[in-house]
Amino acid sequence: METEKVIPEAEELPKAIVRRVVRDTLSRLSTGDGGDLNLHKDALLAFSESARIFIHYLSATANDICKESKRQTINADDVFKALEEIEFPEFVEPLRSSLTEFRKKNSGKRAGASETKEVKKKKKVEEEPLKKSGGKSRKSSKVADEDDSFK
CB 51 within 8 A of CB 13: yes
Q: Is 62 exposed, middle or buried (0-12, 13-18, 19+ CB in 10 A)?
A: buried
- Domain edges within the chain: 9-150
Residue 1 reports pLDDT greater than 60: no
Q: How far is it, in rounded angstroms, from Cα 44 to Cα 47?
A: 5
Q: How far is it, in rounded angstroms, from Cα 141 to Cα 148?
A: 11
- pLDDT tens readout for residues 109-145: 766 666 666 666 766 667 666 555 565 544 444 544 5
**Band of residue 151 on the pLDDT scale cut at 50, 70, 90:** very low
What is the DSSP code (8-state) at residue 14? P
Start-end of H helices in the chain: 15-29, 41-68, 76-85, 92-133, 138-150
CB 60 within 8 A of CB 20: no
- pLDDT tens readout for residues 63-84: 999 999 999 999 999 999 999 9
4 Cβ contact partners less than 8 Å away, ≥ 6 residues apart: none
> What mean pLDDT value characterizes the chain?
80
Q: How far is it, in rounded angstroms, from Cα 108 to Cα 103?
A: 9
In CATH terms, the fold of domain 9-150 is Histone, subunit A (1.10.20)
CA 129 to chain centre: 38
Q: Which of 84, 18, 88 is nearest to 49 (CA)?
A: 18
